[in-house]
Chain A
Amino acid sequence: MLTEEYRTHVKYSSRRLFLSLPLYIFFFTALFTYSLDILTGDLRLADLMLMAYGGIYIYGLSVGAFGVLGQTYLERRYGKDNFLISMPFLLPVSFRRVFLGMYLRDVIFYSALMLLPAFGGMALGAALSSHSLLSVLAIFLGLLVTFLYGMSTSFLISVLFAIDRRIFLLAVGALIALVAGYGLTGLYGLDLIIPSLGYQLNALPFPADWPSALVYLAVCAALSVLFLGLSLFLVRPGRSIAAGRHREMFLQHLRRFARFPSRTLLAKEFVDIRRSGLIVRMIFAYIVPLVFLSFTTYYVNHGLNIPVGFNAVFYGAMVGFFGVLLYSWMTNTDLNDYYETLPVRVPQVIRVKLMAFFLLTTGVSTIFVIGISMLNNEWQLLWLALVVLYCTTAYMILATAYLTGLNTNSFFFNPTILTKFTAISLLPDLLLTILSFSLQSGAWWALAGILGVCGVLLVMSLYFHRGIERKWGGASFL
């Protein structure tokens, strides 16, 4: 399985480029750790850890979600690739064993690819600066357990999804309620949702209370094992062939999009989105993080009465960045081979996916920004937040589409693409974050700066949009 995973990723770049990804992460985290004090400025260490643990938890959730997309893998077996996920149907191996294998494969593969190089980089950065190596080790341990916890949660929720959609919705609803309850009531801490965060706040580099820290860590590890065990117990040992009847949907969408350009491709895109369950994954990847982010801020601002600078403009920018994961999934719903038999080109399909993305998310993200303005009582910033939202979303998604075409997830393992993507996304993100914080003091130059950045983002979006034809015009769907 590891060999397969490795070769799948190598296929999209080259062995040399793929193997340089851990090096890239190593140097990036080393640089980040070394210049931590300058980069974070007024940001509290606790907030930084909250972001790191929240980020790793969401990363674990997404790796787990990809790992259990067995159905797609099986379909690919009938296409051109034969993945080992189909082993239980060909060889005397139990489904549970293969399922466990998938979990271990993802833990080993992604830890080796991302977490270990990040740890090495942090250690180097700490050694070159005044930070303690023991703190780095404590952070790494916590992040590793958080990653496992995220993956186990995702595996369990995916199994529930396969068993019964109602149980699945119940589980996701409970998770959202837990996050919302934390944000709205403040009756419990975030460590109830991510116990390893409790470990971190009681371990180095914070004043250490090791017995408490270890209890939190043990709880998080035990929950990971419990969720994985439950997944293995509940997973259905058989191929899911849900050959149900489906009512006509394509014609209905064809009529709905009658006035749109490329209406045929757009209608098919929406049928894919609805039937592939992408809406559910969208809830996971897009709406849950947004809800998580909003309630956390609300709680910090109103529950703890700590005035943080995260205003509606900051959120407008953040939403643009969340969209990348959703676009990645939209390019990953099905194989594209059959397009080779039709009078269609790759740039056309990319543009249709972009159109579908904007149709799907604009309403949700607009409601979110309006909601956050309402929660924070920042109506005066709403217009600016919406401008920032639309500009960053267009910029990020067009940049992603330009760089990665129809293989977004795979190309993000190509260090050249990843470097370009980091450069493209990090700079405007930093600028907008800093400028949005400065808005609080009513600085006119912050407003001018934000509008200036938005203008540049729009020009760049136009460049990426035009570049799609140039870059992908000769590409094949195979």
Chain B
Amino acid sequence: MLKRLRDPWPDHRAELTLGAVSLLVGGVVVAMVAFVGVHAWPTFSHNGLSWLGSGGTLETQIANMQATGVKAPASAYHLRAWPLVYGTLLSTVAAVVLALGIAVLSSIFIVELAPARLRRIAVPVIRLLASVPSVIYGLIGVLVLVPFVGNDLITASQKASVQNVVELTGAGLIVTVAILTVMITPIMVALICEALVSVPNSWREGAIALGVNPVRAILAVTLRAARPAIVAATVLATARALGEAIMISMVSGSRSFTPKPIDGLLFLFEPLRTLASAIVDYHEGVGAPALGSTLYAWALVLLFSAFALSLAGYLIKLPLRRYQVRG
């Protein structure tokens, strides 16, 4: 037996072994959907589509689930998850829009504008930003930014004006979005820079020879050629922002409150909760059937959003491939 393994392998056996390994890896996704879906099913079957709606307070619904224990009656599954979905959408869209602008501008800076010496410093520094663990971002947020916003930016009269509705501690939308932006920008910068570098130099030179200034050439030619990469970067960054759990659970205030733009400036300071951070907040209760199923339902929504994002990125990039640009 051992001798058979030690001898040079025939090609077909190697192919089958490696293929089996790949199948195992591919099967993980199927298993993931199956396991999460099976666990999430009771919640969806009890609530139907109104699961996504609003109504009642999420915290009391969760407390109700925890109180029922091992044999949960059907009423325990009652849940309206809109505050979480809204919180996720709000923080993700805000962070991605901000990060997109910053990432495009700073990629232009790195590839086209920065002097070589500065570029040699900037690239590793920004790469470092991408690899800082999210718990460190959360720690800085909760120990530095949240007290700063809570004590210095929010005035006492602002706190008093809403004290019957929500308590403003500083943990909330603005800190969440700010840190989330810093976390996802480097990912976008990496992809966009790679694409900008691969745009043929002659295109840019051609534009400049036609009389436009370098910045206009970058905006009109180079950036346009890098569009597939910008789309890919946005998709990747959105997926990352959707799934960020630990950092948001630390700095968002963790209250299923829906910040309303109508509140004016206070909108920025109101607490929120996202799908991913709610899973972290309530993970202790996964043993209670109703709450456990609810957690898996949130995870299933995240999982399908991630699927949809990769699919959307692929579809958007298809027509752009015609221009024979890499992405």
Q: Do A and B bind each other?
A: no
| Interface residues of A, Cβ cutoff 8 Å to B | none
| Interface residues of B, Cβ cutoff 8 Å to A | none
